[in-house]
Structure 1
C-alpha cells in the first residue's frame, strides 16, 4: 500500500532539516532532482535511491544510493510519515543489499567466471534484528566454505577468503567525495584478536559449540544470514542453534549479561545522570537496558518456547508478555520507551551523520537537536524522555537486583539470623551453612561455586525457614549437595527464579523420591522454569514430536539420551505438580502414561530404524508393542514399570532384506531386546523405565517376541485365566494403524469367548490368595496391596469382565463405569477406584514405604485427595477398603 504524504508536514521536515542538520542540508543541495520530487520518492525510498542513470563502479553507486536513502529516510521520519519500524527496516534492507553486492563484487573481481558462493555474512546486533540506526555501523561475522569458495589457481582458500573480506570492507567503508556506504566492525567474530577476518564455517561452529562466552549467546538472539551465500549462513545458524537456545540454561550467562550492564553503567558513569550529556544507549534507563531486559528473559525461557526467539526488541517484549513472563503493561511501557529513545537517537545522528548516542552537553546544541524534532527547545526534549528513562531504569534495576543482601558470615550473627527466620534448630542449621561455606563437598570447592551459593543463601534460608519442617528441609538439601558433582548452575537457576526455591523446599520436605532424583540430577529443576511445567501434560503426539527433535549430526545414542533427559524432566514435573498442589493425582497418573507412551513411540521408532540400517527390514512385516497392566490402562505412578509384549506381523519364516539378512524370528527377538534396552538401560541422563516382559506368551520360558499367529494361537488355546485377566488391559502402543487393529481384533476375539473354558472365579480367587501370601502390604497405607485395595478392585473388575464377557476397556475407570451401568458392580466402586488411585499415586512420591508420614506431609496427602484432614483420609481409606472387600467377596463367593 502506498503511503499518503502531507505536503505541509513534508515541507516542515525539509525546513527543519536545512536549519538544524548540516548533513541533511548538504544532501538536499547535492540531490536537487530528488529534493524536487520527494513525495514520489518517499513512496518507495529504496527504489528511488537505486534509480541512478549512467554506468559507474559498484562502490560509487552504493555510496550515492546510501546518501539518497539517508535523505529520504530522514525526511520520511521527520515528517512523521515513517514510523520507527519503517525507518529501521529501510536502513537494514539497504545494509543487507549493500553487503551482498560488495561480497559479489569482491568475488567477481578476483574470479570473474565463478558463481559467487561459499561466502556469507551473518548480521548481528541491530542489523540482525532489522533495527539498524540512522548512522550505525554493522557488525557482521564473515564465514566461508573451503569447498565451494571460488579461488584463483594455486591460491590457498584461506588467503582467498581474507582477500574477499578485505575488499568487501574496503568497498563499503572507504570514504570519498560521495561519502561512504557503511561502517563495518568485525570484532564480534570468535576471538577477534587472534583470528582472520573471515573464518571457515566448520571452525566457527566448533567454536560456538565448545568455547563461546555467555555474552555471545545473547548476541546470536538477533543473528541472521543477511548477504552472500545465504544458504551457507542458514546452515551455520541451524548448527549453532542449540548453543544459543539451551533447554537446560546456564544461568551464569544471565549473570554475565547483568554484569555487562553494570560494567557499562560504571564505565559511562559521567553520562548516567539524566540531562544534557546523557547517553541514550548506555545510560541507566537507556536503550541497552531495554534490549538486555528482553534478552535475559529470552535466554531463560526461549530454549523451551520457540515463540520467544523474536530478534527485534519490541517483538520480543510482546512475545514475552503474551507468554506471561512479563506484564503486558510493562511490555507496553518498555516498547514506548524504546520508540522514544531510538527516535531521539536518530535525531542526534541526523545532525552530522555521526554515530553518536549522547545528548549534547551544550545547551545550544541540545536546543538544535530538539528543534530538528519539531520541539521548542532542549528542555522540551528532556521532559519527553524523562518518564521513559525513569521507567526503564526502575524496571531493569528490579531485574538486575543490585545490592542483594547477604547472610551473616558466621558465629552468633548467623545463628541469630537463622533463628529470626524461623528455624526450629538454628544452631544445627548454622553448622550446616558453615560446612557449605567451608567447601567440604565437591560441588562447593571452587570459589565461583561458593560465591554463587552466597548470592542464593538469603532466599534459600527464608524458603527453608517457612517450610513445614525447616530442619528436614535444610538437612535434605545438605544431603543433596553432598552428592552433586557441580552446583554453580543449580545455584544460579534458583537465584534467577526465586519461586523455584519455595517449590524446592516443598519437594525436599515432602517428596523423598523427587529429592533423591535431584541429588543425582540437579538440572531436573530446570524443567520447572517453563510456564507450562505445572499444567496437565500435553497429548502423546505433542510429546512424541518434542522427543523426536534431532540436532545436527545427532546419532542414535544422542536420540536415546535426548529422550531419557526429557522423560526425566517431565516425570519430575508431574511429581512436582502433586507436591505443589497444582494437579489432580488422577490427571498426573494419566500424564505419566502419556509420557511413557511417547517415549515408547519415539525410542522404538529410532531403534527399529537403527536396526534396519544393519539388517534391513522383513518384507510385509512389522513390530507391534502391546502395553498391559497400568501402562495398558493409561494410569501410571512415578514408580510404575512398563508391562510390554512384543508381537510381529507377517510370515515368521521370512527373512530380512538388508546388508546382514536374518530370519524373522531372530530378527524380531533381537530387535525387541534392543527396544527393551533403549527403554530401560541407565545412562548419563539417568534411568528410564523398568520393563517387564513376563506377560508374554509362555512367560519367561517363551521367546521375547512372538508372531501374530503365535500370539493368537496361544491366547485362544493355552493361556491361563491370569493371562486373560491381564489381556483385559492390553492396548497396542507401537505399530502402524493396520497392525494395531490386527492385534486388537485378536484380543477382542479372545476376551469375547474364543478361549478355553475355565472356572474363572475359582482361578481368580486362588491367584489373589497366593498373591496375598507372597506379596503382603508394605504398610498401613498400601492402597494397592491392602485387603480392599486396588488389587482387590482390579480382580473384581477383571473377573466380572471375563465371566460376563462385557465391560472390556483398557482404562479401569471405563471398565468400572461399564460394569456399573450393566448392573454387575456397585456404583460406589468408581469412587473407590478414584480415592485408592489418588492415594497410591501420591504416596509413591511422599511416602513410598506406605507408612504414615509426618503431620505436614499428611496435610499434603489430604489436599491431593480433596479431603479436609488426615483423619478424613484415614476414615475414607477404611470405608473404601470395606466397600471393595465386600464387592470382591461377593464375586468370589465368600
Structure 2
C-alpha cells in the first residue's frame, strides 16, 4: 500500500498541465506569489485533489506561470481557491478542448430532465466562471492571442444566451403559451430574435464586458398562437432572459445584459414586433443607430428570422447614395469623440483605454463611419469586425497600407491592455490604475519588464492612433471639399458668404458677418495691430468650422466675441489656435456647450493662460500637483490681502482647468470631484492660516489655542462639483486655564475663535474684485444657525453624543478634517469615528431617514426628471442609503469611508446583496457623471427644452450612450431601480 501511495505521489509530481506558456510572467512579489500558490495547493489537497495539490507544490515553468498569474490577478487567485478542480482538469484536457466541452455542457444543461430556472442559472454561472478562468489563463500564458481571446469570450456569450433563450422557449411551449414546431430545437420557428450588438455582434467581446442585445419578435411566426398577446409574452421572456444572465447570486453572474440600444428605449417594450421595428428604422432611424446595426448579429433565438430581419434592414443601413446632409450627420457622431493632434502628452495613469485619447473607440469609430459612407456601394465594406474592415478600407484606397498596419497593431495591443485591466478583478472598467503598484501589475500581466517600459509603449500606441485618426478624417474621400466663400470686407454682406455660414451651422449669418467685420476693422485691443488681424484672417475658416460644429454656433461665436473684446492682445492667441486645432476645438466646445466656463473665461481672460500649458491634459490634478502649484503661486507674497487675492485667482483658474480636463475627457467625474475637493481643502486651509496670522497681529494667540476645519457634505465626501458651495464646521481648543489671548486687544477664547471664524467667512466668501473663493455654509454646526460659528471640541463632542438628531449624525458620516492644526484634526476625526461607531436602533434610524426623505419630497419636490438630486430614486436616496448603512454598521470592514461611492460599494452582504450593491454603485456613477457635467457647464438648472446641443453630446460621452432619448430612458429606469432599493433597504426596515 505504501509503495502504491509513493508511486502515485511521484506520478502526480511529474504530471504537467496541458498548458504551454510562451511568456514568462513576473509576479509583483515573488515570495507572496509562492505563498499564494502554496495556499491554493493546500486547498486542493483538502478538496481531495492530490494530483493538482502535488503539482502546485512543485517547481517548474508552469508553476512559475501560475504563481505570477495568481499574484497579479485577484480574480484568477480567488477562482483557483474556490474551484481547484478547474486546474485539475487541465491534466487531461487542453484549454481549447475544455472550452468546447463547456459550451457543449451549457447546451446540454437546457435539455436535462430536471432543469429549472434556478438550476440553469446555477449551471450557467458555474460553467461561465470556469470558462472565464481558462480564457484568461490562455491569454496570460501567451497560448492564445487577443483575437482568439475575444472570439472565445464571444462564443461563450452566444452559448449562454442561446441556453437561456432555449430554456424559456421550451417552458413557454410546455405551458401552452407558444406552439413550437420542434421543441427539441426550440428556437426554430419561434420568431424570437436576439440581435447581439457592439462587441458581441462583432465577435470582439472584452473580458468583463456586458452584452448588448436588441430583441424583436415576428408576430406571424409559426410558434405564435395569439399575435395580440405576443408582445406581452416576448417582453416577459426577455425580462426573464436578462434575469437569468445578469442577476447576481451566490454563484456570481453570467453576463451583464443591456437592452438600451433598442428603438426609442424610453417608450418601447423590451421586445419589439418586427413590423414596428422596420417602420421605426425606415422612418425615424438615426445615423448612430445605423452605425450600431453594422455590428449586429443574430446570437440566439430564431437565427433564421434574425437573418431575415437583417436582410429587410439592409437598405436602411447600407445606402447606395448619401447626400451631404447625411454625411454631415455622420460627422455629428464624431463630435462625441475628439480627434486630438498632439495637445500635450498623454497621462498613462488613469487613462481610459476605450474612450480616451488615442483609444480603442477612435479606431472603431473611424472604420464605422467609413463603412456608413461607402458600404452601400461596396458590399465588401459591410463586415462586422474592426481589423478585417481596416484591410478592406486599405484595399479600396480609403486609407494607406501604413495606416492599416499601424491601426491593426495598435488595436490588438490596446485590446490586450483592456483585457488585462479587466482580468485583475473581473470588473467592467477600461481605466488604467492611478497608483504605481496597479500600473506595475498591468505591465507585468502584459509581459513588460516594468511600468516605465509599458508606459513608453502605451504612449507611443496612443499617439500613433491619434495621428492616424485625425489624418483619416482630413483625407477621407468625399469629405475634403472646401467650405465656400468667406468674405468680410466692405459694409455689406456677401451673399455667398451668408450661404457658407448657414451651411456651417449658423442660424443668423448676417449677425455673424457683422461680428467678424468688427474683428477685422480692429475695434478691439486684441485686433488693433495689422499682424493680429492678418493672423485672425488666416484663422477664421478653421474658427468658423470649429464653432459651427458646436450645433449652437451663433451663441458660441458671440461668447467668443465677448472673450475677444476683453483680451489685451491677440497675436499670441491667434497663432496658438492656428497651430493647435485641438485647442481651438476645446475653446469652441467651452463656448458652445458650457455657459458657466464661457462666462469665467469671458470675465477673466487670464484663466485662458492655463490652457497654454502643454501638460494640461496629461497631468492629473491630484492633491500633490495642486499643492505644488499653490505653493509656487503664493511664494514671496507677504501682505494679507494679497495672499487672499492670490488664493481667489488660483482657485478660479484651477476650477476652470479641472473643468476643462473633465470637458476634454482626460479625467472622469469621480476624479473631477476629488480634484475640486482637494483644491477647496488647500485654498481654504491656506485662507485659515492667513486669517489666523493676521488676527494674531492684533489679538495675539490664546494659550494652547488650536483650530481645525471639518469639511461636511460634498466637500467631506470629496465629491464637489464646479458649482458646489462648501459646508464647514470650525472646531477649536485651548488650554483649560486660558482666560484670554495675549495680544494688544485680548479676547476671551470663545469670543476670539468666533471673531476669527467671522474673519475667515469674510475672507473666503465676501465678493471682491477677484471674485469669491467659495460660498460657505456653516448650518451643519451644532445647533445650526442658532449656535456659535465656532465650536469648542468638547462642546462638539457633548452635542454629538447627547443632543444631535439623526439627520446630524447622517451628515457626520461625510465629515472629514480638511485643514488646521494636525493634532486637533486627528482628535476631531477620532471623535467623529467614535460617534459613528455608537450602537443604534436600526429600525428607528431607518424610520427617521424615511421621514426626512418624505418631508424633503413634500417641501422641495424635483423640478423635473433631470433634477437628479431630488427625484425619487435620485442622489439623495443613494446618499441616505449610504449614510444609514454607515450609522447602522452595515458596511464591510476597512478604513473609514466618507465618499458615497465607496460606501455603496462596501455595503454589507446582509444589508444589500451583490446585485443591489452593483445597481446602487452604477446609479451613483451615472448621476455623478451627469451632475459634474451639468454643474460644470450650466449656471442655472438643467432645462431639457433648452439644453445646449454641445452639452448633450458631452453628457452622452460621459455616460457612453448613443442618443439623448436613450440617456433619458436610462435615467428614468435607474431612478425607478434606486427607489425600489431605497424602499427595500430603508422603508421596509423602519419602525
**TM, length-normalised to structure 1:** 0.51
Taking the aligned partners of 2:934 and 2:954, their CA distance within structure 1 comes to: 10
Quick one: structure 1 residues 520 and 444, their matched pair in 2 at CA, closer, same or farther if it must change by over 3 Å?
Answer: same
2:512 paired residue among 415, 422, 432 = 432
Relative to 1, partners in 2 of residues 1:588 and 1:445: Cα closer, same or farther, differing over 3 Å? closer
Alignment partner of 1:510 out of 581, 593, 596: 593
Deviation at 1:412, TM superposition (A): 6.9
Question: Is residue 443–residue 449 contact of structure 1 (8 Å, CA) maintained in 2?
Answer: no
Rate the CA distance shift 1:703–1:657 in 2: closer, same or farther, 3 A.
same
Match of 1:496 in 2: 576
1:654, distance to aligned residue in structure 2 (A): 3.4
Equivalent in the alignment of 1:543 = 626
| Greater relative contact order (CA < 8 Å, ≥ 6 in sequence) | 2
Instruction: Specify whether residues 434 and 666 from structure 1 end up closer, same or farther in structure 2 by C-alpha distance, changes over 3 A only.
Output: same
What is aligned with 1:679?
764
Count of matched residue pairs: 493
User: Are the counterparts in 2 of residues 712 and 746 from structure 1 also a CA contact under 8 Å?
Assistant: yes
The answer (yes or no) to whether the contact 2:814–2:898 under 8 Å persists in 1 is yes
Q: Distance in 1 between matches of 2:854 and 2:619?
A: 38
Give, in whole Å, the separation in 2 of the partners of 1:811 and 1:421: 48
Matched, 1:873 2:967: yes
- Contact 2:525 2:567 survives alignment (8 Å): no
1:320-349, CA deviations, whole angstroms, 9 ceiling, x for partnerless residues? xxxx9xx99xxxxxxxxxxxxxxxxxxxxx
C-alpha contact 2:526 2:532 (8 A) present in aligned 1: no
1:813 to 896, 901, 911: 901
**Partner in structure 2 of residue 619 of structure 1:** 703
Cα distance, 1:749–1:860 mapped onto 2, change above 3 Å: same
Aligned equivalent of 1:792, options 864, 877, 892? 877
DSSP-derived class of the 1:850 partner: coil
Partner of 1:581: 665
Flag the 1:525–1:597 CA change in 2: closer, same or farther, 3 A: same
Deviations 1:685-721 (A, max 9, x none): 2232111100000000000001000100111111111
Q: State the 1:433 CA deviation.
A: 3.9
Q: Which residue in the other structure is 2:816 paired with?
A: 731
Alignment of 1:238-637 (within 5 A): 408-410=488-490, 416-417=496-497, 419-420=499-500, 423-424=503-504, 428-435=508-515, 437-438=517-518, 444=524, 448=528, 452=532, 455-467=535-547, 469=549, 472-479=552-559, 481-482=561-562, 486-489=566-569, 492-498=572-578, 499=580, 500-535=583-618, 537-549=620-632, 550=634, 552=636, 554-637=638-721
Partner SS, residue 888 of structure 2: helix
3-state SS, counterpart of residue 819 of structure 1: coil
What is the rounded CA distance, in whole Å, between the counterparts of 1:427 and 1:708 in structure 2?
61
CA contact (8 A) 1:449 1:487 kept: no
Asked if the contact 1:406–1:454 (Cα under 8 Å) also holds between the matched residues in 2, the reply is: no
What's the counterpart of residue 23 of structure 2? none
Range with bigger deviation, 473-482 or 711-720: 473-482
Q: Deviations over 1:486-516 (max 9, x none)?
A: 3233564243343332211111111111112
Shift of 1:423: 4.5
State which structure, 1 or 2, has the greater radius of gyration over its C-alpha atoms: 1
Q: Give me the whole-angstrom Cα distance separating, in 2, the residues matched to 1:453 and 1:796.
A: 59
CA contact (8 A) 2:488 2:513 kept: no
CA distance in 2, matches of 1:871, 1:786: 18
Is it true that 1:694 corresponds to 2:785 in the alignment? Answer: no
Q: Deviations over 1:62-99 (max 9, x none)?
A: xxxxxxxxxxxxxxxxxxxxxxxxxxxxxxxxxxxxxx
**Does residue 860 of structure 1 match 2:967?**
no
Distance 1:441 1:742 in 2: 65
Residues 757 and 673 (structure 1), Cα distance of their counterparts in 2 relative to 1, 3 Å cut? farther
Change (3 A) 1:756 1:694: farther
Shift of residue 802 of structure 1?
A: 1.7
SS of the residue aligned with 1:643? strand
Name the CA shift for 1:710/1:453 in 2 (closer, same or farther; >3 Å).
Answer: farther
- Counterpart of 2:934 in structure 1 is 843
C-alpha distance 771-468 of structure 1, shift in aligned 2 (>3 A): farther
1:881 is displaced (CA, Å) by 1.0
Report the CA distance shift for 1:821/1:688 in structure 2 as closer, same or farther (over 3 A).
farther
**Is 1:750 the equivalent of 2:835?**
yes
What do residues 161-201 of structure 1 show as CA deviations (whole Å, max 9, x unaligned)?
Answer: xxxxxxxxxxxxxxxxxxxxxxxxxxxxxxxxxxxxxxxxx
What is the match of residue 893 of structure 1? Answer: 987
In structure 1, distance between residues paired with 2:958 and 2:688: 34
Superposed CA offset, 1:183-238 (max 9, x none)? xxxxxxxxxxxxxxxxxxxxxxxxxxxxxxxxxxxxxxxxxxxxxxxxxxxxxxxx
Q: Distance in 2 between matches of 1:471 and 1:796?
A: 40
Structure 2 residue 978 is matched with structure 1 residue 884: yes
RMSD value, Cα:
3.3
Residues 42-53 of structure 1 mapped to structure 2, 5 A cutoff: none
**In 1, Cα distance between the equivalents of 2:852 and 2:521?**
51
Bigger Cα displacement from structure 2, 457-466 vs 663-672: 457-466
Residue 830 to residue 545, structure 1, CA distance change in 2 (3 Å)? same
Unaligned 5+ residue runs, structure 2? 1-455, 461-484
Cα distance in 2 for partners of 1:822, 1:614 equals 57
> Is 1:655 aligned with 2:740?
yes
Structure 1 residue 674 displacement after superposition: 1.7
TM, length-normalised to structure 2: 0.46
Q: 1:103 maps to what in 2? A: none
Q: Contact 2:502–2:508 (CA<8 Å) still a contact in 1?
A: no
Go from structure 1 to structure 2 and tell me whether the alpha carbon gap of 1:448 and 1:434 turns closer, same or farther (over 3 Å shift). same
Q: 2:547–2:553: 8 Å Cα contact kept in structure 1? A: yes
Deviations 1:385-422 (A, max 9, x none): xxxxxxxxxxxxxxxxxxxx996424677553464467
1:90-105 residue pairs with structure 2 within 5 A?
A: none
**Which residue matches 2:419?**
none
| 2:560–2:591 CA contact under 8 A, matched in 1 | no
Q: Is the 8 Å Cα contact of residues 593 and 949 (structure 2) preserved in structure 1?
A: no
Aligned match of 2:42: none
Task: Rate the CA distance shift 1:797–1:669 in 2: closer, same or farther, 3 A.
Answer: same
- CA distance in 1: counterparts of 2:521 and 2:685, whole angstroms: 40
**5+ residue gaps, structure 1:** 1-323, 329-404
Residues 426 and 810 of structure 1: is their aligned pair in 2 closer, same or farther, counting only changes over 3 Å?
Answer: closer
